[in-house]
Amino acid sequence: MSSSLVGNTKGRTRGRRNSSIGGGDLDASLSQSLNKSLTFGSPHRSKSKSGTSHFGNVKGFHVYISGQIASAQLSGVKNPVCKYQMVSGSDWDCVKGFIDGESQVSRNVVTSSTEPSVVWNFPLNVTYKTTNVSGWPRLVVSVRDAGRVIHGYGTTSVPTIPGKHVRYVQLFTPVSASWIQAFISLFTGEPPDFYDARFTTANDGRYAARVKSAGVAKVEFSVYVTGAGSLGYDFGEPDPSSVEEFRPPPHPVS
DSSP 3-state assignment of 109?
Answer: coil
The pLDDT, as a whole number, for residue 76 is 84
The pLDDT tens digits of the residues spanning 87-112 come to 999 999 999 999 999 999 999 998 88
Burial class of residue 22, CB neighbours in 10 A (0-12, 13-18, 19+):
middle
Q: Is 179 a domain residue?
A: no
Q: Are strands 243-246 and 163-174 parallel, antiparallel or unpaired?
A: parallel
**What's the whole-number average pLDDT of the chain?**
75
Residues 37, 143, 220: CA angle, nearest 5 degrees: 85
The pLDDT tens digits of the residues spanning 9-25 come to 333 334 444 433 333 33
Q: Is 28 a domain residue?
A: no
Enclosing H/E stretch for 254: none
> Which of 75, 156, 179 has the alpha carbon at shortest distance from 117?
75
pLDDT at 131 over 80: yes
> Which of 114, 71, 77 has the alpha carbon at shortest distance from 220?
71
Q: Is 204 a domain residue?
A: no
Q: Is 16 a domain residue?
A: no
Give the model's confidence band at 114: pLDDT under 50 very low, under 70 low, under 90 confident, else very high: confident
The CATH number for 80's domain is: 2.60.40.150
**Stretch among 110-119, 227-236, 243-252 having the lowest mean pLDDT:** 243-252
Q: Is 48 a domain residue?
A: no
List for the chain the helix, strand, coil content (%; round to 5).
Answer: 15, 35, 50
Total number of domains constituting the chain: 1
The pLDDT, as a whole number, for residue 57 is 59
What's the predicted TM-score (pTM) here? 0.71
Q: Is 138 a domain residue?
A: yes
Q: Give the CA-trace dihedral at 76, 82, 85, 86, to 10 degrees.
A: 100
Domain around 80: 58-172+213-232
Q: Are strands 138-144 and 118-130 parallel, antiparallel or unpaired?
A: unpaired
